[in-house]
Chains A and B, each alone.
Chain A
Amino acid sequence: MSESSVAPKSKPLVMPNSASASPLLTVSNLAKHFPIRTGVFRRVTGQVKAVDGVSFTVNAGETLALVGESGCGKTTTGRALLRLIEPTGGSVEFDGVNVLSLKGEALRRLRRRMQIVFQDPYGSLNPRMTIGAAIREGLIVHKLAEGAAANTRVRSLLEEVGLRPEYATRYPHEFSGGQRQRVGIARALAVEPRFIVCDEPVSALDVSVQAQVVNLLQDLQRDRGLAYLFIAHDLAVVAHMADRVAVMYLGRIVEMAPRASLFAMPLMPYTQALLSAVPVPDPRIKRQRLLLAGEPPSPANPPSGCVFHPRCPHPAKDAACSVIVPPLEEKEPGHFVACIKQTPTRVDWDVQRAAGGSIPPERYLPRAQ
């Protein structure tokens, strides 16, 4: 099975808070709370904390994957930082610009540099517009090209994403799912962004087509130096694509680490269970599975302390977990974990005991057994 081999990406791994160069994107304490309105007067009676204090950075040319299960807030995070929905708190800095303070023309200029590719390109393409017109729209709006020059750009973009240039005159319904995803990517690329939020870009695609689109995204990253925030629930795709991975649960990042470190030694008990739940396409492997009890609670009424504590299998879990909100701490080089029971921790045993703790922290690595 020989295929023209491409050297593995050798990009410098830059950790959050690294001092070297400033990151392309810095997200700090991002929050999106949706009001819950009840009764005749639609009074606000509560908040759904879809995203609740999320911080991370993305470097130029890097892929940060944001993973987690439905309702964890990963999609809301991606949209809030692009201001497709307005965040309710926090800050987003892109290339030195405070994204949340921008208005009108300045915001539109920024959108040139930050793009998004959606899961369902069919839902995001106007069915009555040819795909050529859809791709050209960005060029015109941002005054990048017009007339014949714009048409030439459209044709070369189609080629770049692996579609025939003459497809420009066709309509979205004439394309398969994989081809539509290529159109979505071409449209995002038209305005020459430096950063793309990829929101489940291959989740709706069949395996063989998924591989084509994953390879395309990697080629484009290499050729154009793009940075990706890759939002996905398929951990095998993430393990293939990402430089770093952030795991979300109930609106918070609970673990963030370089890819190799995260998959080799997940430290947050939720991540451990998540990884062990992935079915392995190899019948010889019979794994001991860490089954989680129950289901994620509602983000309208998240548990106190550590949001994962009601389902947590950590042997040192105790009353302190339901009181202390765990900080995201560096437990291994570049490997950040929100768990006061996973050693080492800055949340001293005295503090834990004062909060009702009865079992001292210990390193829990169920997969390593």
Chain B
Amino acid sequence: MNSTTANSMTSEPLLSVNSLRVYFNTPEGIARAVDGVSFTVAAGETVGLVGESGCGKSVTALSLLRLVPPPGRIESGSSIRFNGKDLALLPTEELRQLRGNRLAMIFQEPMTALNPVLTVGDQVAEVVRVHTKASRSEAWARAVKMLAQVGIPDPSERAKQYPHELSGGMRQRVMIAMALILEPQLVIADEPTTALDVTIQAQILELLRDMRDRTGLALLLITHDLGVVAEMASRVIVMYAGEVVEEAPVHALFENPSHPYTEGLLAAIPRLGEEAARLKTIRGTVPPPTAWPSGCRFHDRCPYAFDRCANEAPMLLQVASGHRARCHLIEEPERRVRGVEATASVLS
């Protein structure tokens, strides 16, 4: 099976995640939040990581920076290669050097990610001071310049304000300034616009696109919003129940979704300008991470499921160049016929 992903022919990709497993001990048993996830991000590329709550996308993001909160742990055998170094094994001090420098993260809720008792200028400047030999005043000057670049009006005055004095959109701009000030090679953005209003979201996405085009950074964009992915990403990875279930170039994913889960997700979104009497649904709910179903983890919600699906876990199979899906239907396409049950009403 050809498992070559985009841009990996010539040299090693910027980020290469292999067999990532992140488990949590819980009273209900071991939660296998991320359970054997592999993907790559090439230099300058924007990859969308999508899925619904509990699919493991945010834990994946946190684990790349080794920020998984306890009792979560990255299992041995997981590898996170960034620029030739394995972040899973790197000594903490070296990892700290990379974080915020070559590798940065933007969180969903900047109010909890920013320090409430430091001015935003100090927080942006601190990133510079930690990673460079800049003096206090040089760092402050760079911070103010960066705040201007992310579209904060009157930046020298705003820099003296505290996070609570800024709006949600402005706080997210501060987070982006902190993430980008040292021109990282890779930015991991975890739902960067989810908490924002749609007009402010449009501004922030525009800003991220603009910074990406200017600095050539690679972006791993974690989101549940397929509209945001369609707009921003060149490649998409879909997660379900702790696994990658499909990965494809963005056009291929939207035009030819091959995993029934991806197909179901795309069919379930209402769209502006399309009149549908009824929305398509996916029956049932996401299973808990302590008890993933046997076989294919989607089989009990899948409209095409057949006997093999409950018993045998499918591999990621090639659909087309750069397009893979974790589904037996790739091998048995004639089975892509909806069962009788699938049209029945949804009883949870």
Q: Is A38 an interface residue (CB 8 A)?
A: no
The interface centre, meaning the residue of B53, B199, B282, B286 with most chain A CB atoms within 10 A of its CB, is B199
**Cβ-neighbour of A281 out of B201, B205, B269, B280 (below 8 A):** B269
Contacts of B198 in A (CB 8 A): 69, 233, 235, 274, 277-278
Measured between alpha carbons, how far is A127 from B226 in the docked complex, in Å? 34
Contact partner of A279 (CB less than 8 A), chosen from B52, B231, B278, is B231
Contact flags A273-290 to B (C-beta < 8 A → 1, else 0): 111111111111100010
A interface, by DSSP: helix, strand, loop or mixed?
loop
Would you call B313 an interface residue if the criterion is a C-beta within 8 Å of the partner chain's C-beta atoms? no
Q: Is the CB of B286 within 8 A of A206?
A: yes
- In contact, A279 and B225 (Cβ under 8 angstroms): yes
- Complex Cα gap A178–B226 (Å): 20
Within 8 Å by CB of B230, from A6, A214, A273, A280, lies A280
- Please indicate the chain A residues that have their CB under 8 angstroms from the CB of B228 in the complex: 279
> Is A210 in contact with B268, judged by CB distance below 8 angstroms?
yes
Cβ–Cβ contact B227 & A208, under 8 A = no
Judge whether B272 is part of the interface by a CB distance below 8 angstroms: yes
Chain A stretch 163-198: residues in CB contact (< 8 A) with chain B:
163-164, 176-179, 182
> B333 within 8 Å of A by Cβ?
no
Q: Is B134 an interface residue (CB 8 A)?
A: no
Q: How far is the CA of A69 from the CA of B167 in the complex (A)?
A: 13
B202 lies within 8 A of A2 (CB): no
- Verify if B27 is at the interface (C-beta below 8 Å from A): no
A-B pairs with CB below 8 Å: how many?
149
Contact B272 A239 (CB under 8 A): yes
CB atoms of A240 and B231 under 8 A apart: no
- Complex contact B277–A7 (CB within 8 A): yes
CB pair A283–B272 under 8 Å, yes or no, is: no
Contact B224 A206 (CB under 8 A): yes
Find chain B residues with CB under 8 A from A275 CB: 272
Q: B192-229: which have CB < 8 Å to A?
A: 197-203, 205-206, 224-229
Within 8 A of B (CB), among A284-299: 284-285, 289, 291-292, 294-295
Inter-subunit contact A162/B348 (CB<8 Å): yes
| Residue from the list A7, A281, A284, A295 in contact with B169, Cβ < 8 A | A295
Q: Check if B203 sits within 8 Å of A8, measured CB to CB.
A: no
B267 within 8 A of A: yes
B230 touches A162 (CB 8 A): no
Q: How far is the CB of A49 from chain B (nearest CB, A)?
A: 19
Docked-complex contact B270 and A69, CB < 8 angstroms: no
A4 on the interface (CB 8 Å rule)?
Answer: yes
Q: Which residue of B lies closest to A236 (CB)?
A: B270
Q: How far is the CB of A179 from chain B (nearest CB, A)?
A: 6
Partner of A211, one of B167, B231, B273, B279: B279
User: CA A239 – CA B201 in complex, angstroms?
Assistant: 19
Q: How far is the CA of A40 from the CA of B229 in the complex (A)?
A: 51
A215 and B278: CB pair below 8 A?
yes
Q: Are A284 and B347 in contact (CB under 8 A)?
A: no
Q: Which of B8-16, B74-82, B111-119, B338-346 contacts the other chain?
A: B338-346
Inter-chain contacts of A208 with B (CB < 8 A): 52, 264-265, 268, 281-282
Alpha-carbon distance between A236 and B250 when the two chains are bound, in angstroms? 21
Cα A281 to Cα B269 in complex, Å, equals 8
The range of chain A's interface size is 35 or more
B224–A207 CB distance below 8 A = yes
Shortest C-beta distance, A68 to chain B (Å), equals 9
- Select A214's contact among B254, B270, B271, beta carbons within 8 Å: B270
Whether, in the assembled complex, B164 has its beta carbon less than 8 Å from a beta carbon of chain A, the answer is no
A313 to B226, CA, bound (A): 29
A164 to B343, CA, bound (A): 19
Q: Which positions 243-282 of chain B face chain A at CB distance < 8 Å?
A: 250-251, 254, 264-273, 275-282
Taking the nearest CB of chain B, how far is it from the CB of A206, in angstroms? 4
Contact status A281-B227, CB under 8 Å: yes
Q: Which residues of B contact A235 (CB under 8 A)?
A: 198, 272
A323 beta carbon closer than 8 Å to chain B: no
Contact partner, B227, options A7, A273, A278, Cβ 8 Å: A278
Within 8 A of A (CB), among B150-185: 153, 167-170
CA distance A4 to B271 in the complex (A): 20
A206 with B53: CB separation less than 8 A = yes
Taken residue by residue from 103 to 132, chain A's Cβ proximity to chain B (1 for < 8 Å, 0 otherwise) reads as 000000000000000000000000000000
Please give me the residue from chain A that is nearest to B263 by CB atom: A1
| Given A69-B197, A178-B285, A277-B202, also A211-B348 (CB < 8 A) | no
Please, what's the 1-or-0 string for B305-348, where 1 marks a CB less than 8 Å from any CB in chain A?
A: 00000000000000000000000000000000010000101111
Among B225, B269, B282, chain A packs the most CB atoms within 10 A around the CB of B269
Which residues of chain A come closer than 8 Å to B266, judged between CB atoms? 281
Decide yes or no whether A350 CB sits under 8 A from chain B.
no
Chain A min CB distance to B31 (Å) = 16
Pair A292/B199 contact, Cβ less than 8 Å:
yes
Docked CA distance A289–B272 (Å): 15
Known: A239-B271, A280-B272, A284-B254. 14 other contacts (CB 8 A): A5-B278, A162-B346, A179-B285, A211-B282, A214-B279, A236-B271, A240-B276, A278-B198, A281-B229, A282-B254, A291-B199, A291-B203, A292-B199, A295-B170
Chain B interface residues (CB < 8 Å from chain A): 52-53, 153, 167-170, 197-203, 205-206, 224-231, 250-251, 254, 264-273, 275-282, 285-286, 338, 343, 345-348
The 8 closest A-B pairs by CB, nearest first: A279-B227, A69-B197, A208-B282, A206-B52, A277-B202, A211-B279, A240-B270, A211-B268
- 17 pairs across A/B with beta carbons < 8 Å? A1-B267, A2-B338, A179-B285, A206-B286, A207-B265, A208-B52, A208-B265, A208-B281, A211-B281, A239-B271, A277-B202, A278-B272, A279-B205, A279-B227, A283-B230, A291-B203, A294-B153
